[in-house]
Structure 1
Amino acid sequence: MTAAPIPHPQSSAHNNTVSQTPPVAVLKDLVARLHREQNRIQNLLSSLGFALRSFNNLNQFLEIVPLMAARVTDADGGALVLLKPNGQPRLEQLHCQEGQSCQNMRRSLERITREIALSYPTSPSSTSFKANFLDEQLQNDLGEEVHLFGTPILVKNEDRGRLYVFSYDPNYSWTSTRKKLVQLVADQTSVAIANNELANELRKKERLDRELEIASEIQDHLFPKKCPIITGVKLAARCQTANRVGGDYYDFIPANYEQFSSSPQQFPSSVPWSIVIGDVMGKGVPAGLIMTMTRGMLRAEVLNRHPPAKILNHLNRVMYDDLEKSHRFLTLFYSEYDPQTRILSYTNAAHNPPLLWQASTQSICKLDTWGMLIGLEIDSQYEDDKIQLEIGDTVIYYTDGFTDAVNQEGDRFDEERLVATVEQVCKQGDRPQTILDFLFDRLKQFIGEGNRYEDDMTLVVMQVTEDS
């Protein structure tokens, strides 16, 4: 920073006055002027800091940046050049002190930035080269009579533009103090840009969180609000998603339209009911969308009253194109229980086979048939099978998130542990809800307190009871 020059003598009388002024008084006057200048600069920088804290609109802040840079350095004007998202420079703001013309500066910046846009690639690696080229071309274009200084706008160590300050005064010089003041204004500009980008990211995250919240609410509404009342059957079900939106699917689908009534079911239903469980490969919103699509298509298909294998065959053909485009697949176990005969008919599309606890033999077997994933091949075929259930028999439907759960030592809960746990709780003769709670509690103990679930987990427990 250079001090204002002391006025030159204009006459002999004035010269005599100056010569008669004590040196101490001259020094005091010089110190006072320096102090006033220092206060002026501090006030300007304080105003810039206030604007940084107060302005919600980045453009409002950028408008005053060249003005502040010029005033704190007593220069004639300033220019702010920022890089566009594609890496090309753009003249953002230009300011000149009153009475000065900036037309040559504007023309030079606009012409040089156009040349850069036409001549150089937009890759981020070329940013520093463009900045150097801009500095050199601008100085050459303006000539030596313009005192120009430029400093980078750095955001996270990335060059995002340049702040230029210039003066037409032939006695003007770029002292180290003036350069530091320009760099200080540039740093404030970098903070404003970084804050704006952070605010945009937060707003984007808030929108995404809200969308996920809505998707989660929709999915929660699509899951059965409660288990149906079926003659001679007790049911319990729970789906625990790893994220807000999951890809696990379970449903209870009646065999006729009357059961879809919105009024609560008061009495046990003796019509056949389909009990379905599935798992979309992946998690989150994409898996949740496919789960929702599967639910709608399967419900419509069930009402056609086809055998289980044919239902999955139709479902696979209808969903194949969409699943192939999304690069996702679906495992599904479909079963239909007839309360009149206690026969469970079923087919499997590569899902984890449900476990059947047979009360008469105190043993566990798997319910499985051969079948490919839904969406893997358009002409996949599926097999039908059935089993006669007896009073006390319990079927445990589950998804692989349950058996793939890992503890702190890296061990999986696996199917063997699940079978042993099911056997333990079923021997006690507990009801489905107690069985379901016991299995989830055991899994929680296995994983450990505070550890999050890595995959969606779903259990459906069906138990055959007395008709009453």
Structure 2
Amino acid sequence: MSPALPSSSTTSSSPVIALKEMVSRLQRENSKIQELLASLSFALRSFNNLNQFFELIPLITCRVTEAEAAALVLFRADGQARLEQLHCHASDQCPNIRAALETATRTLANSVGMAAIDAGSDRPQLEQLLDQQLRERLPQGIQFYATAILVKDSRLTERGRLYVFSQQPAYEWNETRQQLLQVIADQTAVAIANDELALKLRDRQRLDRELEIGAEIQRRLLPHRCPKIHGLELAAECRTASWVGGDYYDFIPITYGLSDQQEIEQGRWGIAIGDVMGKGVPAGLIMTMTRGMLRAEALNGHRPSRILQHLNRAMQPDLESSHRFVTLFYSEYNPQTRILAYSNAAHLPPLLWRAETGMIHRLDTYGMLIGLDPRSQYQEAEVRLQPGDTVIYYTDGITEADNPKGKRFEEEGLAAVVKEGCTKGLGAQALLDYIFDAVDTFTHTKGRRSDDMTLVILRVIDQ
């Protein structure tokens, strides 16, 4: 009896079952890969520690590429390579792979002139040499593949390499595995960029805090209110363009032989305004130094010209080495005689509005910048003020303020506003606000300044 032949339905169903199993297996593998990549994306969003994220990279790389080992190598800023993480999935070659990686990176650092390898055209040579060193040190039969970790800052820079290793002869480096490795390398690049941005943000926050403290110290060094000086009405304000400014003004009581507050108010007073060339922290530091040294000189009881001469000689070595200079106008007012004696070290001359004539005069003398030449000599002059007379001290942030058309406010604009305000009979504080408002109106930038602006208003009142 002949054996029974299989039915046609059984024969035709076997390929269908095999195809279904293949499709099911591929779906499971694809689902596994998607879950692994999703886990990596979650880690990228959640981990604050970059090293924790790096630990996952070789592990997930092994699983999605079905390799036996994977390694993350990073390049430092000085051009050297460092083995960051290595993961081996049940591979007896793990010690050999680690030894090859460590030796390759170490040999590269010792043999290549790292000082000559910068972020320019020599950078690609580093990756080629590293791959070559690794190829020479891996045991025979182990194949490896790599992709670049590219971080974009000012330009696209290779910051490391992601390696996979296999000793299986049938292992195929197909397009799918290449794409998966590239996805992981790109996420690694994003993690590096995010960490560097976070570091820059923390540095910026720390710097902002230090600048805030510096600005607070500078505000405390400037007079927090105008003093009471017999026969004068005063107003003053410094509006800085940044956290710390280079403008300076001060009221210095000449207190020798004076015992109580009334005597101090009726005694002589030094009134100063200055400007350090430059802005920001360096200018603020020089301004602080100028304040301390000027006060010490003023309290010695010297005349204004002698004070500027001594100050110039004392500060010149430090200012010369910093490549910065100071303009300074120093005056001394005697309430008993209403005489204002003054000397100018290349600062913008204050404006004097005479109440009797309605005319504006410039208070100026010859003198070089503080710190330019230790042999500089300074002239001195004096003027007797009358009730209603007003003196306006200012810095170049006022006259050099420009409008959207590029036209500057200039001394003529300031003089016109001063004359208008004084003619209206404005007091010292009202005139100060009037001038600032006029500058803001002219520039169309209320509250935003490109340079520090300082005003000091001195108005003689009839006692």
Could you state the TM-score of these two structures normalised by the residue count of structure 2?
0.93
Aligned to 1:269, the other structure's residue is in SS state helix
Indicate which of 354, 358, 375 corresponds to 1:358: 354
Q: In structure 2, what is the Cα distance between the partners aligned to 1:216 and 1:390?
A: 38
Counterpart in the other structure of 1:446: 442
**1:437–1:258 CA distance, 2 compared to 1 (3 A):** farther
Counterpart in the other structure of 1:25: 17
RMSD over equivalenced CA pairs, Å: 2.0
Q: Which amino acid aligns with 1:32?
A: S
**1:381–1:267 CA distance, 2 compared to 1 (3 A):** closer
**Structure 2 counterparts to residues 65-214 of structure 1, below 5 A:** 65-117=57-109, 118-120=111-113, 121-125=116-120, 126-142=122-138, 145-156=141-152, 157-214=156-213
Deviates more, 1:111-120 or 1:365-374: 111-120
* Residue pair 1:247, 1:456 contacting (<8 A) in 2 also: yes
Counterpart in the other structure of 1:223: 222
Residues 1:285 and 2:284 are matched in the alignment? no
Aligned to 1:22, the other structure's residue is in SS state helix
Indicate which of 330, 341, 363 corresponds to 1:367: 363
Aligned to 2:382, the other structure's residue is in SS state strand
Deviates more, 1:195-204 or 1:383-392: 383-392
Aligned to 2:424, the other structure's residue is in SS state coil
Counterpart in the other structure of 2:4: none
* Residue pair 1:147, 1:173 contacting (<8 A) in 2 also: no
**1:19–1:227 CA distance, 2 compared to 1 (3 A):** same
**Structure 2 counterparts to residues 39-78 of structure 1, below 5 A:** 39-78=31-70
Partner deviation per Cα, 1:274-307 (whole Å, 9 max, x = no partner): 1100000001111111111111111121111011
Q: In structure 2, what is the Cα distance between the partners aligned to 1:260 and 1:197?
A: 61
**Structure 2 counterparts to residues 207-286 of structure 1, below 5 A:** 207-256=206-255, 269-286=265-282
Counterpart in the other structure of 2:392: 396
1:449 Cα deviation (Å)?
4.2
Q: In structure 2, what is the Cα distance between the partners aligned to 1:356 and 1:449?
A: 28
Percent of aligned positions with the same letter in both sequences?
A: 56
1:258 Cα deviation (Å)?
9.1
Q: In structure 2, what is the Cα distance between the partners aligned to 1:399 and 1:258?
A: 33
1:109 Cα deviation (Å)?
2.1
1:345 Cα deviation (Å)?
0.7
Partner deviation per Cα, 1:167-193 (whole Å, 9 max, x = no partner): 111211111101111111111100000
Runs of at least 4 residues of structure 1 off by over 3 A?
Answer: 18-21, 257-261, 265-268
Q: In structure 1, what is the Cα distance between the partners aligned to 2:257 and 2:47?
A: 61
Q: Which amino acid aligns with 2:165?
A: F
Residue segments in structure 1 that go unaligned for 5+ positions in a row? 1-17
Q: In structure 2, what is the Cα distance between the partners aligned to 1:365 and 1:456?
A: 24
Counterpart in the other structure of 1:308: 304
**1:416–1:296 CA distance, 2 compared to 1 (3 A):** same
Q: In structure 1, what is the Cα distance between the partners aligned to 2:11 and 2:88?
A: 39
Q: In structure 2, what is the Cα distance between the partners aligned to 1:213 and 1:246?
A: 12
1:322 Cα deviation (Å)?
1.4
**1:249–1:58 CA distance, 2 compared to 1 (3 A):** same
1:260 Cα deviation (Å)?
11
Residues 1:433 and 2:429 are matched in the alignment? yes
Q: Which amino acid aligns with 2:215?
A: S
* Residue pair 2:108, 2:133 contacting (<8 A) in 1 also: no
Q: Which amino acid aligns with 2:186?
A: D
Partner deviation per Cα, 1:154-207 (whole Å, 9 max, x = no partner): 000211110000111121111110111111111110000000000001001101
Indicate which of 268, 290, 296 corresponds to 1:294: 290
* Residue pair 1:255, 1:302 contacting (<8 A) in 2 also: yes
**1:24–1:307 CA distance, 2 compared to 1 (3 A):** same
Q: In structure 1, what is the Cα distance between the partners aligned to 2:430 and 2:424?
A: 10
Deviates more, 1:266-275 or 1:220-229: 266-275
Deviates more, 1:26-35 or 1:149-158: 26-35
Residues 1:410 and 2:406 are matched in the alignment? yes
**1:25–1:191 CA distance, 2 compared to 1 (3 A):** same
Partner deviation per Cα, 1:125-179 (whole Å, 9 max, x = no partner): 2111111222233234326622211000000021111000011112111111011
Residue segments in structure 2 that go unaligned for 5+ positions in a row? 1-9
Q: In structure 2, what is the Cα distance between the partners aligned to 1:134 and 1:107?
A: 14
**1:403–1:302 CA distance, 2 compared to 1 (3 A):** same
Counterpart in the other structure of 1:349: 345
Q: Which amino acid aligns with 2:458?
A: M
Q: In structure 2, what is the Cα distance between the partners aligned to 1:429 and 1:21?
A: 108
* Residue pair 1:273, 1:338 contacting (<8 A) in 2 also: yes
**1:331–1:71 CA distance, 2 compared to 1 (3 A):** same
Q: In structure 2, what is the Cα distance between the partners aligned to 1:242 and 1:258?
A: 40
